[in-house]
Amino acid sequence: MNAPLLVGEWPARGARHGADRVAVQDPAARHSYADLEERSTALADRLRAAGLGRGDRLATVTANSADHVVAFFGCAKAGLLLAPLSWRASTTELAAMLRDARPALVATDTTYRDAVHAALTLLDDPPPAVLLSAEGLEDDLPDLRARSEGRAGQVALDDPVLLLYSSGSTGRPKGILLSHASCWWTNRSLDGRVGMGPDDVVLVVLPQFHVAAWNVQPLLGWLTGARVIVEPVFDPDTVLNRLADERVTTTMGVPTSYQMLAERPGFADADLSSLRLALVGGAPTADRVLTAWSGRGVPLVAGYGLTEAGPNVLCEAEPGGGMLPYPGVEVALRDPVTGRPAEGDRGELLVRGPNVFAGYWGRPDETARAVVGGWLATGDIAERGPDGGYRLVGRSTAMYISGGENVYPGEVEQVLLRDPSVAAAAVVGVPDDQWGEVGVAFVVPRQGLTLDPERLRAGVRQQLAGFKVPRRVVVVDALPLTGSGKIDRPALRGELDNQKGVER
């Protein structure tokens, strides 16, 4: 499999191990490889007949499902980009992502249909919305020629196939483009490290608006003929039963999900004997969680990545050891201040390889800042050990990760500053046993006004997703500043022991 394949060709490749084998299943449906190929091809034909071409976007807001997988491969075959949007987002955030992506069509399920329609009412020229179905989309598609921005011609490896959104440090939604080629190479490198074949059973518990729900095991599974099970939502008891009943061999999660599983009463007796690989990423994993899983004979294997890299960059060679680059992925360290190569074994991690993204959607200047000389700047600080393995030691930005979700303080601070009683605000991430990290907001009241911390948190919750709401709000007289006039976030963290706030 050295010659790259377009993503739309992957189900046919997987079918070589048996067209009647189950390709994807959820609690409501099972599709064989033959079904997946037939349904996605038919959907691609319908999308073209509706007037769409290469480069057009189909946005989705949906729980994980086999129908969503059909829609993805249908888009890939037709040259469209699937833009899976977060169902955790607020109405305002959904509208912002839709406004940025300019999809020709939006697809949703019955669970999130009302949320989608609420977001569409905030747009000047909203695209039509349809429901997902076993054919990928409901039977009747509207005429979309007037909304098409696509072009004619055959789908190419450099064409984008996924448009994934991550909140930017400025608070604006930022779309990350992954091409057919990027998906191919990131999955080939994953296969080179962990291996996967037709006897594997992959369990997907991460939401499909995350890159990992496609490019960390599921897509490789469909390329190699494995059976992929998608859970609509993460429920610990259901997942424990699924691991045993379906004889799952490989899965991937964030530390919070593994912690929740380990804390369930049934964990000690759950049948995990078939599970050969459990990847964990998105944030550091607490030692007690690692110990709980290794005690059940399933060591958690840590990986590091970011959406812009496809996402796979580093993976532990053995549990607890340093992380090595995936095959075909190059890494380097640079001084985060000067931008020059790091003089020692510590610096900002750079990534280079065919797995790296095609750029930010509609943001060439930001793409140029992120990729310099072919190297993607991750913003993460890493340390290289004597064995050549890497360990992540911090971030060069103020971003923190709560329950596997990136939170950018600037976005939350903007919301806090909209309150007329707030003169200044700063948000920092602090360790949390359950979520990995949570936010604490420090706010300075305007002169003569009184701040109500609980009201501020409620205001953030109205405008942003729940995981972005600060766990605590601390009222202070002033924010500490560095010599250059920037907020001194480490100093704020040091003040927490002497402050009292409001619990979420």
Instruction: Report pLDDT for 406.
Output: 80
State what percent of residues in the chain have pLDDT above 70: 96
Instruction: Report pLDDT for 498.
Output: 57
Instruction: Report pLDDT for 486.
Output: 64
User: How far is residue 380's CA from residue 392's CA, in Å, rounded to a whole number?
Assistant: 7
Q: How far is CA 441 from CA 202, 248, 436, in A?
A: 39, 41, 17
Q: What is the pLDDT of residues 22-37, one digit of tens each?
A: 999 999 999 999 999 9
User: How far is residue 474's CA from residue 496's CA, in Å, rounded to a whole number?
Assistant: 9
Residue keyed to tokens 């034909």: 45
Q: What is the pLDDT of residues 279-322, one digit of tens each?
A: 999 877 888 889 999 999 999 999 999 999 999 999 998 887 89
Q: What is the pLDDT of residues 236-253, one digit of tens each?
A: 999 999 999 999 999 999
Q: What is the DSSP string of 108-150?
A: E-TTTHHHHHHHHTTSSSPPPEEE--TTSS-SPPPP-GGG---
Q: Is the pLDDT of residue 230 over 60?
A: yes
Q: Where are the alpha helices (DSSP H) in 349-408?
A: 364-370
DSSP state, residue 297? T
501 pLDDT band, cuts 50/70/90, is very low
Residues contacting 65, CB < 8 A, separation 6+: 26, 28, 29, 109, 132, 230, 232
169 pLDDT band, cuts 50/70/90, is very low
34-60 average pLDDT score = 97
265 close to 235: Cβ distance less than 8 angstroms: no
Q: What is the pLDDT of residues 358-401, one digit of tens each?
A: 999 999 999 999 999 999 999 888 899 998 999 888 776 778 88
User: How far is residue 65's CA from residue 389's CA, in Å, rounded to a whole number?
Assistant: 37
Which tokens in the block code for residue 443? 């706010």
Residues contacting 463, CB < 8 A, separation 6+: 90, 92, 93, 415
170 pLDDT band, cuts 50/70/90, is very low
Instruction: Report pLDDT for 24.
Output: 98
Report residue 198 CA to chain centroid gap: 26
Residues contacting 219, CB < 8 A, separation 6+: 7, 10, 183, 187
83 close to 101: Cβ distance less than 8 angstroms: yes
Q: What is the DSSP string of 25-71?
A: EETTEEEEHHHHHHHHHHHHHHHHHTT--BT-EEEEE--S-HHHHHH
Lowest mean pLDDT among 66-80, 163-177, 376-390, 452-466: 163-177
Q: What is the CA radius of gyration of the chain?
A: 23
